[in-house]
Amino acid sequence: MSYAYLFKYIIIGDTGVGKSCLLLQFTDKRFQPVHDLTIGVEFGARMITIDSKQIKLQIWDTAGQEAFRSITRSYYRGAAGALLVYDITRRETFNHLTTWLDDARQHSNSNMVIMLIGNKSDLESRREVKKEEGEAFAREHGLVFMETSAKTAANVEEAFINTAKEIYEKIQEGVFDINNEANGIKIGPQHSPTNPSLPGAASSGGSQMSNCC
């Protein structure tokens, strides 16, 4: 499967907000009501098409528990997009958003696209966080906002694809340096033969990176 671009995502948020279920719904189109706790980081990939270009999304689904924070932090770097997830039926997951956001901003590259997601929108009866609150938080922090349901698949597709679109736009605008892999974007192998100088540049960029770190 050749692709034009590879985007790396990270899904973050409190434990039990449905991060793994979002990923499962997006990659496998199914919902698993009982899900073991994520221990470490899980991984999924899917191809999407934007602007008639094949884009591969590689998604790191991180563990929400505090104990794994040190592991998950190392994944911020190298992610082009982040889905910051809270549970609309649990107020505290919303309250922790600032912590998560600070963490993300601190450890990621500055251009990372962050999408705020209020998950479990199917459980309207148990809602604790209003949609407006989510919107307000997103506005305040310059995020894109969306309410989703991993169970009914509502907006799941959109959440991932809209993020990809945003990243794609930023690439077109030249905001992202696509030759720096630490940004979480990789040019597909099909592009290499047409532009032989590019991979060499990428390789040297990578080694420079290793030196400076």
Partner 1 sequence: MAFLEWRKFQFFDLRQNIEGSEKLLELSKEINITCTSAGNNYLVFGDSLGQIHLISRSWHINTFRGYEICIEHSFQLRSSPFLITIGHDEPGINPLIKVWDISKFDRNGIPFCQRITKAVAGSYPVQVSCLAVCDNQQLMAVGFLDGSLILYRGDITREKSSKQKTFKDVKTEITGLAFKLTANRIFLFVSTYKEVFVYNITQKDKEQKYQLDNIGCSRKCSVLAESTQESHFMVARNNAIYCYTPDGRGPCYAVDGEKILLEWFRTYLIIISKSNRSSSLPKNIINNVTTPQSTNQVLITVLDIYNKFIVYQYVMPNIRAVLYEWGSFFILGQDYRIYSLEEKDLQSKLSLLFKKNLYDVAIRIAKSQQYHLDGLVDIFKQYGDHLREKGDHAGAIEQYTKTIGKLEPSYVIRKFVDSQHLEKLIIYLQALHKQGQATEDHTTLLLNCYTKLNNTVDHTASLREFILSKESDLNYDVDIAIKVCRQGNLAEALKLAEKHEKHDWYIKIQIEDHQNYVQVLDYISSLKFEEADHYMKKYGQILIEHLPFESIQLLKRLCTNFKPNNSNNASDNIISAHYDIEMKSDPEDFIHLFLNNSSGLVEFLEHLITAGCFLSSSVYNTLLEQYLHVWVGTEASGEKQKIAHRILELLQNPDIKLNKSHALVVCDMHSFSEGILYLYEEQKLYQQILRYHISRNDPHSVLACCTRFGHQDPTLWVQALWSCVRDNKELSIDLLKQILTVIAKEKLFSPQLVIDAVSTGNAEITLGHIRSYIMNELQQEMKKSEEIAQLTGNYKKDTEKLKNHIEQLKNGVTHIQGSRCAACHHHLELPAIHFLCNHSFHQHCFQTCSDDESECPTCQPENKDLIELLKAREYNKDLHETFHFQLDKAHDGFSVAAEYFARGLFNNYRILR
Is 206 an interacting residue with respect to partner 1 (CB under 8 A)? yes
Is 16 an interacting residue with respect to partner 1 (CB under 8 A)? no
Is 19 an interacting residue with respect to partner 1 (CB under 8 A)? no
Tell me the C-alpha distance between 63 and 71, whole Å.
9
Considering only residues 164 through 183, tell me which ones interact with partner 1, judged by CB under 8 A: 181
Is 203 an interacting residue with respect to partner 1 (CB under 8 A)? yes
Burial label, 99 (beta-carbon count in 10 A; 0-12, 13-18, 19+): exposed
**Binding string, residues 21-60; x marks residues near partner 1 by CB under 8 A:** -------------x-xx-xxxxx--------------x-x
> Which residues are paired to 176 by β-bridges?
none
Phi, psi of 53 (to 5 degrees): -115, 140
Beta carbons within 8 Å of 4's beta carbon, 6+ residues apart: 53, 54, 55, 187, 188, 190, 191
Is 194 an interacting residue with respect to partner 1 (CB under 8 A)? no
Considering only residues 105 through 134, tell me which ones interact with partner 1, judged by CB under 8 A: none
Binding residue count for partner 1, defined by CB under 8 A: 32
Considering only residues 68 through 107, tell me which ones interact with partner 1, judged by CB under 8 A: 68, 70-71, 74-75, 78
Tell me the C-alpha distance between 94 and 101, whole Å.
11
Is 201 an interacting residue with respect to partner 1 (CB under 8 A)? no
Closest to 10 measured CA to CA, from 52, 38, 49: 38
Is 63 an interacting residue with respect to partner 1 (CB under 8 A)? yes
The DSSP H or E segment spanning 95 is helix 91-95
Rounded to 5°, angle at Cα 148 from 170 and 138: 50
| Stretch binding partner 1 (CB under 8 A), from 19-27, 61-69, 136-144, 172-180 | 61-69
Which residues contribute to the site for partner 1 (CB under 8 A)?
A: 6, 8, 34, 36-37, 39-43, 58, 60, 63, 65, 67-68, 70-71, 74-75, 78, 181, 186, 199-200, 202-203, 206-207, 209-210, 213
